[in-house]
Each structure stands twice: as C-alpha cells, then as structure tokens.
Amino acid sequence: MCHDGVLRVRRGKALVFNMRNFAGHRNISERQGSEHDVARLRDVLTSLHLTPIIYEDKTRNQVDTILEEVASEQDLADDDCLVVVYMSHGAENGTLEAFDRALQLQDLWECFIPGRCPSLWGKPKLFFVQACEGSKKMEAAVAPSKKSKGLPTTTSTDIVGDEYTIPSHADFLISKASVPGHVSHRDVISGTWFIQTLCDVLVEHSQMEDLVGMLTLTGARVARHFQTSEGFRQMPSYTSTLRQKVFFTPPQ
Amino acid sequence: MCHDGVLRVRRGKALVFNMRNFAGHRNISERQGSEHDVARLRDVLTSLHLTPIIYEDKTRNQVDTILEEVASEQDLADDDCLVVVYMSHGAENGTLEAFDRALQLQDLWECFIPGRCPSLWGKPKLFFVQACEGSKKMEAAVAPSKKSKGLPTTTSTDIVGDEYTIPSHADFLISKASVPGHVSHRDVISGTWFIQTLCDVLVEHSQMEDLVGMLTLTGARVARHFQTSEGFRQMPSYTSTLRQKVFFTPPQ
C-alpha cells in the first residue's frame, strides 16, 4: 500500500458534497445545473469501484461533522483511498461556501492527516473542488503565430528511524476547477466544465492512465474545448504530494 | 508543440537563482551548503540539454530585471520550455527572499504568461522553488500498525473560436520543496534534500519518465529517506496546469 511506485485502488469511499441552494438571507445564487454533476459523479465513481455518498446543501457544521465522523471510522482501514468532492461557490484564498456560511479548503482535508486519521496513513486522500477561486475571468491566450513551435532552514541528518514514518502531509492530492483568483464555469444544461470533463476522462482513460495523467488530460480538454461567449477560458490545476501513481483499475 | 499528449523538450533556458548571502542589515543567515545545489543543477540541467544560467545573490530589482529581459527575448521562440529555479529562504504565502528584500512566488512566473511573453505560448514554464514556506516543522506520521494496508459561476457555451487559444495560465508547473506553512531542510555538506533528490531522480529516470512522474518519485524519496535528528520530515509538493506529459529526452 505505502510503497513508492504504483497503487491500484480497489475500494474507497467518495464523499460528494453538492451545494446548490444557500440560506435565503445570504443572497447567493442557486447553482442551477449542478444536479448533472452529481448524477454523473455517482455513475462514474461507482464504475471505478468507489462508494459514492452524496450530501446536498449541508451547513458548515454538518460538513465538519460528516468529515470528522468519516475520519474516525474504523472501516476506513479496509479502504485503499478516500475521495472528497466539494462543489459550490467559492472565492479567493480557498474560501468555499456551505449552506449557511463559508469554510476553507483546508477544513476539508485537515482532519485526514495521519495524526487525526490513522486509518488513512500512507493512502491517497483525493480532493476535487468545483468552485471559483476569485472573480477574475481568465483571458484567452492567442497563439502568437501559426508557425509557433509551438526560512530559516536547518541542517539535518539523513538517518531513517527504525519505525517507518512519512511526512504528515504526504499522499494528498487537491484537484481544482481553476487557478487562484479566477472563476470556473457551469452550464445549467450540462453541468460544470471541470466535473463533466473529469468524468469523461475517467471513463475513457482509467484503464490505462494514472490519476495525475488523467488530470493533465482533463486540464488539456477544458483548456481546449470550452470558452464563454465572451471568449473567456478556464484552466484547472492540481496540487500533489502523492508518492505513487494512483490507478483506479486493476491491470489488464 | 501545443497539442495534448506528450512534449519532448530538446532545448530551453534554465535560470538558476541561488541566494546564499543577504544584505548585512537584514540579519538573515547565510545559506551554507547551497553551492552544492548550484553545482549539481548545472551538471544535471546541462545533461538534459537545457542551458543553465546561474545568478547568485541578486537583489529584488535585479531578479525582476532578469526575468523581464528573458521574457522579452526573441530567441525564446526557438526554445521548447523555460526552467526557473529559485533557492533561498522563504516564509508563508509564497514569500521568497532576495539579497536585499523579499519578493513573492508569483513575481517569478507572472511575466511569463502569454500576454507578457508570447514566445512561450503553449510551452511548459517550469518553476522549482527550494525555500521554506513557513516555520512549522513537519511531524512524522508513524504507520499505525505493521498490518496496516496500507464563487459566483457563469453559464457559458462550449463553442471554440476560430483562432486557437488557451487559458492564460495553462502550461505552468511549480514544484516546491515543502508544503505551505512548513520548513524545508538543507545539509551544509551535501545541499538541500529537495534539490539533491530531484537531481538524482532526473539523472536516473529522465529516459523513461515524464516530469510529473519524476516529481512524484522525488516526493516519495524525500519523504522516505530524510529526517532531522529530531525526527522531523519534509514533503515536497507541486502544482500543475501542464496540458502535456513533459519528457526531457528523446524516445529511445
């Protein structure tokens, strides 16, 4: 499980939070079309042998409680990974909206570091976030020509202790619809650019490609195939401390 | 060059900034041992067919000027990628020290978005940062048992314009020695854990593995092989909007 190299995921929970409606006093717009992302994710995650659990319009306290309860579950010990999908409105610096108030991106993952969730020690903890990260719309960058080719540090030893330990923040992946400062886009008829494309790529490539490879493909497709009627584009990004290539399917 | 899939880099500049000494009035410690990282990078980057250019102890204005001059160079049009390595002290929120005062991580890359550097449109812009990202030391996470297994959104169309455009923030990779909030480590005899391990992996695996795969290996090795005498560890991370797998060597 925890060796360098390749990990094939055969089992794991997938918590899917979809925030469509928000408390009336907040005047935040309904996320119309988000049901398409939920339905698609349920199908695709199931096809990857994961167990999707859908949560709709939860308050911040409910989100916290759900995550903490999952982190303390004994049966995580039998899982190969954990997936968390969070879909809502968002803003700069990792702010994500719940039904009644905001939370921070790090609130999603902090309870799964090994000190708080030993059951997931050494296992991939995979977060997918569909939200804006600010209000800037991303300019399209036109190809320049048809011919274009396109802190205080410390000294240390390198002794490894007898016990096998890893850094507390290893094995996390956070995949996001956009980059800091910029909006992400949702189509009310077909769902969000990012989640729908991610699902397409997972279905088409999970037999051969590892997760990071599929995120590269997802980014390439969103970058290539979508733009708003005003010409704005979107660039997904991901941040990784994974120590292995993660595959969702057994070798053929 | 700009197609989805695989890119084989045959040529590119590699700007290597090493900040070892800092203006005396600032009372920032000399980064002893950093010369080992510089020497190693010069060799390894050259072996990858890149052209290393070394800059030592530059002021913030000098860094800005160098980056802006490179971004405006016509001969970048013949390059397949750009590499920037920045090695210094650092702190939270992407603060990096130059000789006389600090700059921000985004100052390194912002002048290379296509609007300011059309010569690198569609080409990988690769940043490697050896610096602390805060003062927290990373706890080791002990395996729990030997038996352990281990924003406001908008609606949009999906019409692609006649001109080939991509999002302005595509094709960036930022590889860092640590994760936000945490220190990175340097050995005065042999250099930093991160840069030395990265160089090892590049030498050993660049024939077969793409850059992101090598960063995964680098993270796995730093996580596994190093800890301070007090038991602290370090976890490198990377953030990517690459749309291709980047290889530094031609196919065999």
pLDDT in tens, A66-75: 999 999 987 7
Reported as half-sphere exposure (CB side, CA atoms, 13 A), residue B170 has a value of: 32
> Where are the strands (E) in chain A, listed by range?
5-8, 12-18, 50-56, 81-87, 90-91, 95-97, 102-104, 125-130, 140-142, 165-167, 172-176, 186-187, 191-192, 237-240, 244-247
Residue A145 confidence (pLDDT): 60
B144 in a domain, yes or no?
no
Residue A73 confidence (pLDDT): 86
Host domain of residue B55 = 5-138+165-247
Q: Is the pLDDT score of B153 beyond 50?
A: no
Residue B250 confidence (pLDDT): 67
Closest chain B residue to the Cα of A19, Cα to Cα: B151
Tell me if B152 and A135 make a contact (CB, 8 A cut-off): yes
Report how far residue B104's alpha carbon sits from residue A45's, in angstroms, rounded to the nearest whole number.
39
Roughly how many angstroms between the first and final C-alpha of chain A, as a whole number? 19
* Domain count for chain B: 1
Residue A72 confidence (pLDDT): 93
Q: Which residues of A touch B78 (CB under 8 A)?
A: 149
pLDDT tier at B251, thresholds 50, 70, 90? low
Report how far residue A60's alpha carbon sits from residue B199's, in angstroms, rounded to the nearest whole number.
44
| A-contacting residues in B 29-48 (Cβ below 8 Å) | 29, 31, 33
Closest chain A residue to the Cα of B5, Cα to Cα: A217
Count other Cβ atoms within 10 Å, centred on residue A251: 7
pLDDT tier at B218, thresholds 50, 70, 90? very high
Residue B144 confidence (pLDDT): 72
Residue A107 confidence (pLDDT): 96
Residue A163 confidence (pLDDT): 52
Report how far residue B10's alpha carbon sits from residue B81's, in angstroms, rounded to the nearest whole number.
9
Q: Tell me the pLDDT tens digit for each residue of B38-97.
A: 999 999 999 999 999 999 999 999 999 999 999 998 778 899 999 999 999 999 888 999
The catalytic position among A89, A117, A182, A185 is A89
Tell me if A240 and B216 make a contact (CB, 8 A cut-off): yes
Residue B117's domain is classified under what CATH number? 3.40.50.1460
B89 is catalytic: yes
Residue B145 confidence (pLDDT): 60
B159 in a domain, yes or no?
no
Report how far residue A222's alpha carbon sits from residue A224's, in angstroms, rounded to the nearest whole number.
5
A27 interface with B at CB cutoff 8 Å: no
Report how far residue B190's alpha carbon sits from residue B34's, in angstroms, rounded to the nearest whole number.
8
B170 in a domain, yes or no?
yes
B132 is catalytic: yes
Q: What is the DSSP letter of A226?
A: -
Q: Which of A169, A215, A217 to mutate to test binding with chain B, by most B CBs within 10 Å of its CB?
A: A169
| B-contacting residues in A 150-189 (Cβ below 8 Å) | 150-161, 163-170, 179, 182-188
Q: Which residues of chain A have pLDDT under 50?
A: 1-3, 146-162
B95 in a domain, yes or no?
yes
Mean pLDDT of chain A: 88
Q: Is the pLDDT score of B147 beyond 50?
A: no
The two three-digit tokens of residue A10, written as one number: 């055969």
B153 in a domain, yes or no?
no
Size of interface A-B (CB pairs under 8 A): 315
Q: Tokens 């990858």: give the residue.
A: B48
Helix (H, G, I), strand (E, B) or coil at A245: strand
A94 interface with B at CB cutoff 8 Å: no
B252 in a domain, yes or no?
no
Q: Is the pLDDT score of B162 beyond 90?
A: no
A248 in a domain, yes or no?
no
Q: Which candidate from B121, B143, B240 shows the least CB-CB separation from A148?
A: B121
Q: Which candidate from B164, B183, B235 shows the least CB-CB separation from A151?
A: B183
Report how far residue B186's alpha carbon sits from residue A154's, in angstroms, rounded to the nearest whole number.
6
Residue B130 confidence (pLDDT): 95
Q: Which candidate from B157, B227, B237 shows the least CB-CB separation from A160?
A: B227
A216 in a domain, yes or no?
yes
Q: For chain A, how long is the longest CA-to-CA vector?
A: 59
DSSP for A185-221, please give it.
BEETTTEEHHHHHHHHHHHHHTTT--HHHHHHHHHHH
